[in-house]
Amino acid sequence: MNNATEEEPQPVYAALFGCIMALGLPLNAVSLWILLRHHSLKSPNTVFMVNLAISDLLLIISLPMRVYFYATGNWPFSSTVCNSIQRLFYANIRSSSIFITFISVDRLLAVVYPLRSRHLRTTTNAWKGAGFTWLILLVISSSVMVTLSGQPHNHTCFVPLHSGPETSVGAYFQPVLVSTMLAVNVVCTAMVLWTLRSHLSDSAKVKNKLNVMLIFVLNLLIFTVCFLPVTFTRVTGLYRLPLTCLATLNCCLDPLLYYFSFDAFWKKKDVEPS
């Protein structure tokens, strides 16, 4: 039987995580249902969005534990449960940053290189990319879980083990990944904006150009507000909890990507919009 340790309750964070869960769960569940039912999985764009919605739902199912802990200050469960919830959080940031980048690259190819990219923008390649992403994340999470299982149980959860910055190689993995994905998104945004503004003949067939740019703006917003700050907490020693809460908010913003990506999102579309 695990010994429960009392921490100071933090009702504000319990309420914030509760609101994120209450908003994110229906948004992502409905979005996933619409994507699967009304939009063809033959579209690489849809494949990436389905995987992004699944990633967000995996994060959301871990939030009740956070709400309970911050509301009561009590963690009666095992360290394995705590570590699993933590892995879901970090896996969501990694998978979301990768799938959002896939969406940006796919939109870049569709707008800037619509003809030359046809052999690349296939459903098969999209599923291969998604499958490889989940495989790598599973290996990383499993290896971390094995490492943590050998450490003594401190009978608490969501409390940083280090008060200052960490210098291990693992602490730099997520900042490097997120920074790299952000750089790719910035390049994609610049190239698409340049094409839409300067090459009117090439972009004349692109419908809802405002929506296209909103997708890229939203991607950059999610990276800079949700992902980037929290990924540097381990190497800077910043207070982690407020940034963790902010990072979790991405599961409520991602459904906006699905809405802006499709004309008539709520209606069945057999052909992917350009």
Please tell me the predicted confidence (pLDDT) of residue 265. 54
Please tell me the predicted confidence (pLDDT) of residue 200. 52
Which residues have C-beta within 8 Å of that of residue 91, sequence separation ≥ 6?
A: 55, 58, 137, 140, 141
Please tell me the predicted confidence (pLDDT) of residue 155. 58
Contact 9, 71 (CB under 8 A): yes
Q: What is the DSSP letter of 98?
A: H
> Other CB atoms closer than 10 Å to residue 114's CB: what's the count?
15
The parts of the chain modelled with pLDDT lower than 50 are 1-5, 201-204, 266, 269-274
Record the tokens describing residue 199, joined without a space.
Answer: 């090459």
- Ordered domains of the chain (ranges, CATH): 5-150+158-261 (1.20.1070.10)
Record the tokens describing residue 146, joined without a space.
Answer: 């094995």
Nearest to 263, CA basis, from 117, 54, 45: 45
**Which SS3 state, helix, strand or coil, does residue 5 take?**
strand
Helices then strands (H, E): number in the chain? 12, 2
Please give the C-alpha separations between residue 258 and each of 20, 122, 179, 250, in angstroms, as whole numbers.
18, 19, 23, 13
Nearest to 103, CA basis, from 46, 64, 157: 46
